[in-house]
Amino acid sequence: MTNDEFRRYGHQVVDWMADYLENIREYPVLSSIQPGDLVDRLPAAAPERGEPMDAILEDFEQSIVPALTHWNHPRFLAYFAVSGSPPGILGEMLMAALNVNGMLWKSCPAATELEQVTLSWLRQWMGLPQEFFGIIYDTASIASMHAIAAAREMADPEVRTRGNTGRLVMYTSEQSHSSIEKGGITLGIGQNNIRQIPVDESFRMRVDILRERMEADRQASLSPFLVVATVGTTSTSSIDPVPAIADVAEEYGAWLHVDAAYGGAAAVVPELRGVLNGAERAHSLVVNPHKWLFTPIDCSVFYTTRPEILRRAFSLVPEYLKTGENPRAINLMDYGVQLGRRFRALKLWFVMRNLGHDGICAIIRSHIGYAQKLAALIRSHRDFEVAAPTPFSLICFRYRGSDDDNRALLEKVNASGKAFLSHTVLNGRFVIRLAIGNIATQWQDLEEVWDLVKQTAAREQGDDAGLPQAVN
């Protein structure tokens, strides 16, 4: 590609992106393709000769776009939003153009130092103490895995050479994200040594049971080494009682990790800072700017007050990567399993600077406000119920019918292409989840979705005599 062509297609692609974001509501949120359709549509082998960009862009439009789930859609309300923003997209484009590898300070001083600066800014916004050292990983799953590895290193430094003994035990709630258990599996802790502590009626970890289990394990000559609390659980966004959990973790000398992948973003809003109460006592915490801080995936921020332990767990420097010692030259490869690393701080810096603290707070406040308003509407409807508290911007609700009725309702709503909601199971019952977090979501979008849900339930009632009447 010549430089002139690069310039021309670059402009064309940016124009496409601007049109896409402007007209996003015209796309169906969920693709209607069937599994395997795209594979069948595309050639089985790569082209022998280079093809013109016009043909590639045409195929992108005709084959790839119809197979997309539009996470940018303001009525994408499933899972937790992975919401980008225009400044984040521009940062991501420049990252690709620069294509630096920030494994060492020397391999790209800008990547290393901008990461320190942006994560210090974010730490201040979240009200976390200065001792928290920050590093960016790709996802919260990987960040939490690093927390488990650091906790293991603190409890049993021999593990690096000798391997696991099978005596280390970790604790998390039964509502915590599956990535915590996966991290424990990956690091050889073993599923038998991962305790899923029951929750209370608001889906928060039961601290009395945590203490009982840790004590029982200690009596059995096992070593409780890590407690993982969650601020904003995946199913309901519940907030574990972190201060009380910190007391217990401290009593047993265990590492405390806080998974605030989603909920941590709310702490950026000054009046919501309390959601992280107790987290200042944690050894580590993860928050995902790619969830609710409008930074394109992937960008997960890991903070720890014990970076030296993280480094001890992971540092292994082959000759070809040795550099001179300078305390200000941090080599980020020493703080994790990966060597190569993308310049993710660039897009976060673009987002933080362009949206500003005020801008980000305003969007998060609006999402929480919409959730409160919608939850009140759902609660006041005789055919629906809210199934869990709504501390952030996630609403769990259900139609007052059977699980099958709720499953059918969700499927119909999603098949309409007008919205995408997800589900969970709470206390053995199927529950619909509606998570607000997209930068483009307006109250009108949510009114439309609520109307769609009510109308679909009413229509289902016509199809199925077993369903009660849905009314306004």
Q: Which of 223, 230, 236, 295 binds ligand PLP (CB under 6 A)?
A: 230
Residue 445: alpha-carbon gap to chain centroid: 23
Q: Which 8-state DSSP code applies to residue 60?
A: I
Q: Which of 234, 304, 406, 424 binds ligand PLP (CB under 6 A)?
A: 234
Q: Which of 173, 179, 236, 461 binds ligand PLP (CB under 6 A)?
A: 179
Minimum distance from residue 262 beta carbon to ligand PLP (Å): 5
Region from 127-135, 201-209, 255-263, 457-465 binding ligand PLP, contact rule CB under 6 A: 255-263
Torsion sign across C-alpha atoms 237, 242, 245, 250:
positive
Residues 93-152 touching ligand PLP, rule: CB under 6 A, are 139-141
Distance CA 278, CA 290 (A): 24
Give the residue with the Cβ less far from ligand PLP, 140 or 169: 140
Distance CA 16, CA 394 (A): 32
> Taking CB under 6 A as the rule, which mask of x and - marks residues 325-364 in contact with ligand PLP?
----------------------------------------
Give the residue with the Cβ less far from ligand PLP, 120 or 139: 139
> Taking CB under 6 A as the rule, which mask of x and - marks residues 67-96 in contact with ligand PLP?
------------xx----------------
Q: Which of 262, 292, 349, 384 binds ligand PLP (CB under 6 A)?
A: 262
Q: Which of 259, 334, 383, 445 binds ligand PLP (CB under 6 A)?
A: 259
In DSSP terms, 398 is beta-bridged to 385
CB atoms within 10 A of CB 79: 17
Q: Which of 73, 75, 146, 177 binds ligand PLP (CB under 6 A)?
A: 177
Answer for the pair 38, 62: CB distance below 8 angstroms, yes or no: no
In DSSP terms, 434 is beta-bridged to 395
Closest CA to 169 of 111, 252, 88: 252
Q: Which secondary-structure segment (H or E) carries 309?
A: helix 307-314
Distance CA 435, CA 371 (A): 8
Distance CA 419, CA 410 (A): 10
The residues near 199 (Cβ < 8 Å, ≥ 6 apart) are 173, 174, 175, 205, 206, 238
Q: 471: burial class by Cβ within 10 Å (0-12, 13-18, 19+)?
A: exposed
> Taking CB under 6 A as the rule, which mask of x and - marks residues 279-318 in contact with ligand PLP?
---------x-----------x------------------
Residue 235 is a binding residue for ligand PLP (CB under 6 A): no
Chain contacts with ligand PLP (rule: CB under 6 A)? 79-80, 139-141, 177, 179, 230, 232-234, 259, 261-262, 288, 300
